[in-house]
């Protein structure tokens, strides 16, 4: 049974290892539970969140809008130093404390803005778990927390979602953390306790009663509820969201590669927009009701998908909604303009306009603002060098292969083999207001960048 908020059954709420009924049917005590402050957390292992983090953020915002509790954004600067082993096949590389601090600062600014745009009457507060974890002694940990969980239960706890755990149990797989022994450090095995302690501390310090997170965090979340019960705290609950996965069913994130970052310097706004525009129907069908601030029925979505699949109306709605939420409405306009103005002719019209008048039309300027920008620190000797230095090709030989296949363009014009081995000409260089000397380089159908010259 799913918790339904504004006709959006995209996350489930659990309490002490049992699913709760739909909100409309739950008891007053559970309704009151959800009216208390809630929290959503992220470890400071990277300087930006990625799109996979948006589903828990959207769920937290949905509960906050419905029941008006405060929302706590927990930045895991202490847990980020250890790292969650869930879903990993190799230990994490450690990061310096100065790097974790910078990551925490960046995540706080980024996600506070994201949550503020969706919050209801409640407030959003930021807390870092080093406040309590950095001062916790080893003996206090053993006596207060480790004693709450029997060894058999701890080693048998399966990482991953409740569905994965149930499937493993049904197949007779003893699994659990013990199965990670060959690839996981002892410090990482303590991660569920650290996340559980976070839940307990937030319950005691801020009155938090609900934790929101991805379904792969189920095991870690259960530890928090277990510790709270051991300490005699009020009942806690967790809300789990679906995971964002690729076409093969693999979770999207920095650990598995292919992360789509919220920071536009890591994932340009146009690429961010195109990720959602290019997703398959099944993923779009899941994300639209989960991420839209207003309700939309699955019937409406299915109608759009089946009546006019070529228009990609559902994907476009997701792209517009998420880009506006993360980057603002100006970014949506720019991404739309880039699709219609820049990618149509790979920049030929923009180059012609600059050569003729030295200026850009408003939609052309908006398009350039959201496309990846590669700034060269050294002058290229040839066109091929410029493309390699800009990251548009891995090597000169690779670029020549692409040129032979008619897949390389400079300012919208096909690059020939002779041109690739020649220096950039005067006509190749554009003078873009606010950018400087540059050219538009594209490889294939999707890779395009404004290459800024020194």
Structure confidence at residue 407 (pLDDT): 92
Residue 404 maps to a domain:
no
Residue 454 maps to a domain:
no
* Average pLDDT of span 22-28: 37
Structure confidence at residue 20 (pLDDT): 41
Report DSSP state, residue 232. Answer: T
Residue 370 maps to a domain:
no
Exposed e or buried b per residue across 1-23, where buried means at least 16 C-beta atoms within 10 angstroms of its C-beta: eebebeebebbbbbbeeeebeeb
pLDDT digits (tens, 9 = 90+) for 211-228: 988 888 888 888 888 899
Structure confidence at residue 6 (pLDDT): 33
Residue 259 maps to a domain:
no
Residue 127 maps to a domain:
yes
Does the structure show a pLDDT above 90 at 445? no
Query: Which residues constitute the domain of residue 140?
Result: 3-241
At residue 21, φ and ψ (nearest 5 deg) are -70, 170
Q: Would strands 38-43 and 210-214 be described as parallel, antiparallel, or unpaired?
A: parallel
Element (H, E) at 430: strand 430-432
- Is 114 or 306 the better-scoring residue by pLDDT? 114
Q: What is the CATH classification number for the domain harbouring 34?
A: 3.40.50.620
Exposed e or buried b per residue across 68-90, where buried means at least 16 C-beta atoms within 10 angstroms of its C-beta: ebbbbbbbbbbbbbbbbbbbbee
* Average pLDDT of span 370-384: 93
Does the structure show a pLDDT above 60 at 28? no
Report the candidate in 290, 293, 281 with the shortest Cα–Cα distance to residue 11: 290
Structure confidence at residue 257 (pLDDT): 57
Exposed e or buried b per residue across 352-374, where buried means at least 16 C-beta atoms within 10 angstroms of its C-beta: eebeeeeebeebbbbbbbbbbbb
pLDDT digits (tens, 9 = 90+) for 316-333: 888 998 999 999 999 999
Structure confidence at residue 254 (pLDDT): 59
Report DSSP state, residue 251. Answer: B
Does the structure show a pLDDT above 90 at 177? no
Assign residue 235 a region (left: φ > 0; alpha: ψ between -120 and 50; beta: otherwise). beta
Does the structure show a pLDDT above 80 at 246? no
Looking at the chain, the whole-number percentage of residues with pLDDT higher than 90 is 45
Place of tokens 């004693």: 147
Residue 223 maps to a domain:
yes
Residue 205 maps to a domain:
yes
Report the candidate in 209, 260, 256, 212 with the shortest Cα–Cα distance to residue 236: 209
Beta-strand runs (E) in 17-68: 18-19, 38-43
- Is 108 or 252 the better-scoring residue by pLDDT? 108
Mean pLDDT, the chain, whole residue set: 81
Question: How many independent structural domains does the chain possess?
Answer: 1
Looking at the chain, the whole-number percentage of residues with pLDDT higher than 70 is 76
- Is 69 or 409 the better-scoring residue by pLDDT? 409
At residue 430, φ and ψ (nearest 5 deg) are -100, 150
Residue 227 maps to a domain:
yes
| Three-state helix/strand/coil letters over 184-226 | CCHHHHCHHHHHHHHHHHHHHHHCCCEEEEEHHHHHHHHHHHH
pLDDT digits (tens, 9 = 90+) for 60-119: 887 766 656 788 999 999 999 887 766 555 556 678 899 999 999 999 999 999 988 877
């Amino acid at each position: 049974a799913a918790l339904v908020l504004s006709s959006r059954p995209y996350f489930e709420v659990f309490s002490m290892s049992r699913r709760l009924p739909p909100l409309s049917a739950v008891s007053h005590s559970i309704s009151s539970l959800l009216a208390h402050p809630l929290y959503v957390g992220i470890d400071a292992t990277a300087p930006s969140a990625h799109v996979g983090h948006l589903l828990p953020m959207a769920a937290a915002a949905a509960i906050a809008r419905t029941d008006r509790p405060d929302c706590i954004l927990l930045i895991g600067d202490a847990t980020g130093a250890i790292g969650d082993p869930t879903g990993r096949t190799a230990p994490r590389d450690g990061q310096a404390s100065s790097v974790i601090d910078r990551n925490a600062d960046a995540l706080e600014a980024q996600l506070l803005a994201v949550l503020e745009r969706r919050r209801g009457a409640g407030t959003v507060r930021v807390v870092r778990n080093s406040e309590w974890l950095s001062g916790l002694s080893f003996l206090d940990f053993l006596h207060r927390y480790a004693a709450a969980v029997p060894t058999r239960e701890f080693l048998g706890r399966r990482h991953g979602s409740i569905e994965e755990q149930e499937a493993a149990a049904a197949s007779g797989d003893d699994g659990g953390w013990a199965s990670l022994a060959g690839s996981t450090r002892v410090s990482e095995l303590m991660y569920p306790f650290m996340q559980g302690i976070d839940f307990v501390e937030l319950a005691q310090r801020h009155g938090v009663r609900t934790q929101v997170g991805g379904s792969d965090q189920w095991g870690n979340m259960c530890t928090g509820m277990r510790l709270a019960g051991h300490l005699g705290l009020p009942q806690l609950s967790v809300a789990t969201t679906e995971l964002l996965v690729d076409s093969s069913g693999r979770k999207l994130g920095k650990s598995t590669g292919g992360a789509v970052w919220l920071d536009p310097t890591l994932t340009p706004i146009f690429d961010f927009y195109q990720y959602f525009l290019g997703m398959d129907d099944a993923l779009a069908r899941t994300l639209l009701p989960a991420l839209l601030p207003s309700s939309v029925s699955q019937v409406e979505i299915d109608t759009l998908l089946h009546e006019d699949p070529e228009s990609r109306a559902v994907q476009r709605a997701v792209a517009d909604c998420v880009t506006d939420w993360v980057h603002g409405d100006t970014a949506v306009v720019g991404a739309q303009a880039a699709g219609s103005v820049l990618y149509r002719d790979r920049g030929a019209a923009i180059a012609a306009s600059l050569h003729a008048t030295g200026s850009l039309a408003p939609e052309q300027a908006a398009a350039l603002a959201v496309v990846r920008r590669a700034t060269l620190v050294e002058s290229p000797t040839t066109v091929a060098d410029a493309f390699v230095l800009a990251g548009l090709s891995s090597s000169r030989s690779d670029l020549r292969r692409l040129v032979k296949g008619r897949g390389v363009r400079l300012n919208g014009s096909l690059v020939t083999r002779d041109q690739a081995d020649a220096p950039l000409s005067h006509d190749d260089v554009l003078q873009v207001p606010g950018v400087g000397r540059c050219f538009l380089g594209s490889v294939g159908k999707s890779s395009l960048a404004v290459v800024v010259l020194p």
